[in-house]
Structure 1
Amino acid sequence: MTLELSRGSFRLVVDPDLGGAILRAHWRYMDGRDVAIFEPSEPTFDPFGNGCYALVPFANRIADGRFSFEGRDYELPINRPQENVAIHGFAYERPWEVARATSNSVSLFQRFAESDNPYEYEAWQEISLLDEGLQIEVSVRNAGDRAMPFGLGIHPWFARSPGTTLAFLSQGTFEQDTRNLPLPKLRQVAAFNPDHPVRMEDVPVIDGCFANWTPLHARIVRPQEGVVFEITAGGALRHLHVFVPDNRNVFCAEPVSHVPDVVNRPEFGPAHAMDVLQPGEVLSGAMTLRAKIHSSVGG
């Protein structure tokens, strides 16, 4: 079952059964064209490729699906066997319930408790259309009986159409080991700085977390289509993970709360760590995307 939301010139399709994902989001441009905000997707058996979805209860990878916390060893299901990692949590692979729906917003709920998984949680998504775009709010509550490390993220796919650029400010990205997992050595890069926006078609592949994304703002310009997407994040989503795959003409700019595999890497310190939630505690984050007409368009 899919839900269609609309407000002004914006439309989107959400599939609660398919990980609560946004399959399509469009902006009706001033000349009547429908501009895809996220890379459109159809219902598939590979939820990783869906247009935009929530990452709960952690973002990105946990190496070998294992970690130790407060004297206990934990194992998670491996959902990317080719890399032997648990990736992006569990919420995007499982259905969500519709708690409330209007013509321009939907509230989704997911209760997670499985016998082979140490996590128990309740998660909420609030997906709303705005006058100028959309907002996604994600929250998770520790529904278990012990403290656990939690994280969040939002995973939008964007088209790498010709000339598309991405720009944001950060302290840099981390060096990586042979498994493309981060090392606690920050590498400052001029690329992606607003003074040096990166043409995404020139990026063959990248999979890196950018630390201390400040302010929590990114700008995607698609000059061929005459549009600009302004992304802002809030709450726990203090880092930006950028991913360009080698097999699709797309990229991700993912607001996330923590560094990949940081639960196994205490040397990163609290600024990059997952949040420890006591039973009943809640972690929340949000992403807002506003669509604008590019300055190159006359008027």
Structure 2
Amino acid sequence: MPFQITTQEFGTLPTATDPLIEYVLEHTETGEFITIVPGYGGILRRLVLRKGRDLFALLLTPESPQALFSDEGYAGALLYPFPSRIRHGIYHFEGADYTLKMNEQKRDNAIHGFVHGRPFSVVSQEITETYAQLVVRYDYAGDTVGYPFPFALTVTYKLVQANQLTYGDHADDDRMCALQISYSALNTGSTRSPAAFGWHPYFTLSEQPVDEMSLSLPNRAPIVLNDNMIPEGRHGLEPGGTIELKGEQLDTAFAIEPTSEPGASNPFAETSLTSLKTGVKLIVGQQTGANKLNYLVCYTPPRRDSIAIEPLTANVDAFNNGDGLTVLNPGETLSGVIWVRLS
């Protein structure tokens, strides 16, 4: 079979003695591959896909365990039980007040949940003629200050023939691969719990500067944020369109609408990043609909070497404003699908 899964040592964290193990999911004939580090937040660290004869490195992530440990940009992070920010780290839920650790000191917020950096376990791995798949899980006992709600977060990473993607418009060429990420957060506790999910990748096209790219967005309503990046409302719906990124500074949240046909049984939205030099297009897709990924954040870091395109299930500060927040009964799950492909 053309797909294979291997492992390699990634290195040792400053706070550990045992090395991190990195899983490599690869298509041996095309050279496309992804790598996952279960022991550090279950993150996807590398993503290399093919367009024509060329391979493109599509993620900007730390190159060593030391850099991963000190990274404050949440590169590749899975964001749960909340993405983005919670004002002052304080929220009210079903008659009680909760206070989370504030890990964004300059803006006085809690940010991006707390599974980033925590050890995930490998549940299973599988290879077939059309994909290689790794399933990882983090089991949480409810012992983090401010969030006493146990859960099991399961994430499935799949390197798959692009014409086998579950969602979206995709290539007919079975020699091209794509990435598909499926997540499922199960409430394993005995009470209801607030929940929201996001993913925080920084995308590039083989280290091409952002100023040489354009960004195409779906129909969206930009969120109005104050100086501490907390929502104060939203603008009206804007039609899908393309922004040239040269000189453009983005740190913007959007409520988005599907790009799939109206009334589709599996609605989705896609955002694309295009090289103005080569025409190569990177497409980030997200499942939309009830309790799915109906929000998006786009962020250009000051170094201008990448752009974060972050699918989210909820608005910024959703634990307080309820915008997109899912409340899970015991035994219920929050789930969805994200994909990345080249065109």
So what's the TM-score if we normalise by structure 2?
0.76
State the partner residue of 2:271: 218
- After TM superposition, the structure 1 = structure 2 runs for residues 1-299 of structure 1, keeping only pairs within 5 Å, are 1-7=21-27, 8-9=29-30, 10-31=32-53, 33-42=54-63, 43=65, 44-46=68-70, 48-49=72-73, 51-103=75-127, 104-113=132-141, 114-116=143-145, 117-132=147-162, 133-159=178-204, 160-189=209-238, 193-194=240-241, 197-204=242-249, 206-215=250-259, 216-234=269-287, 236-266=292-322, 272-292=323-343
Does the aligned pair in 2 maintain the 1:170–1:210 contact within 8 Å?
no
Quote the offset at 1:181 in angstroms: 1.2
Secondary structure of 1:45's partner?
A: helix
Moved over 3 A (4+): 28-31, 46-51, 187-190
Structure 1 counterpart of 2:134, one-letter code:
V
Distance of aligned partners of 1:174 and 1:161 in 2 relative to their CA distance in 1, 3 Å threshold: closer
| C-alpha distance in structure 2 between counterparts of 1:129 and 1:47, whole Å | 26
Give a deviation string over 1:100-143, Cα, whole Å, max 9, x none: 12352100010012253423210000000111311011111112
Does the aligned pair in 1 maintain the 2:222–2:236 contact within 8 Å?
yes
| C-alpha distance in structure 1 between counterparts of 2:306 and 2:103, whole Å | 22
Give a deviation string over 1:206-232, Cα, whole Å, max 9, x none: 222111332211111123344212222
Secondary structure of 1:91's partner?
A: coil
Does the aligned pair in 1 maintain the 2:210–2:304 contact within 8 Å?
no
| C-alpha distance in structure 1 between counterparts of 2:277 and 2:60, whole Å | 16
| C-alpha distance in structure 2 between counterparts of 1:207 and 1:187, whole Å | 18
Does the aligned pair in 2 maintain the 1:19–1:94 contact within 8 Å?
yes
**Which has the larger displacement, 256-265 or 169-178?**
169-178
Structure 1 counterpart of 2:284, one-letter code:
I
Quote the offset at 1:47 in angstroms: 5.0
Does the aligned pair in 2 maintain the 1:3–1:15 contact within 8 Å?
yes
Does the aligned pair in 2 maintain the 1:233–1:287 contact within 8 Å?
yes
Secondary structure of 2:106's partner?
A: coil
| C-alpha distance in structure 1 between counterparts of 2:219 and 2:77, whole Å | 23
Does the aligned pair in 1 maintain the 2:80–2:112 contact within 8 Å?
yes
Quote the offset at 1:243 in angstroms: 1.5
Quote the offset at 1:67 in angstroms: 0.1
State the partner residue of 1:295: none
Structure 1 counterpart of 2:306, one-letter code:
V
Does the aligned pair in 2 maintain the 1:76–1:118 contact within 8 Å?
no
Percent identical among aligned pairs is 25
Structure 2 counterpart of 1:37, one-letter code:
L
Does the aligned pair in 2 maintain the 1:41–1:50 contact within 8 Å?
no
* Number of equivalences: 281
State the Cα RMSD in Å: 2.1
Distance of aligned partners of 1:64 and 1:257 in 2 relative to their CA distance in 1, 3 Å threshold: same
Secondary structure of 1:67's partner?
A: strand
Secondary structure of 2:246's partner?
A: helix
Structure 2 counterpart of 1:239, one-letter code:
Y
Give a deviation string over 1:272-296, Cα, whole Å, max 9, x none: 331011111100011111212xxxx
So what's the TM-score if we normalise by structure 1?
0.86
Unaligned segments of structure 2, at least 5 residues: 1-20, 163-177, 260-268
Give a deviation string over 1:134-155, Cα, whole Å, max 9, x none: 1011111112221121001122
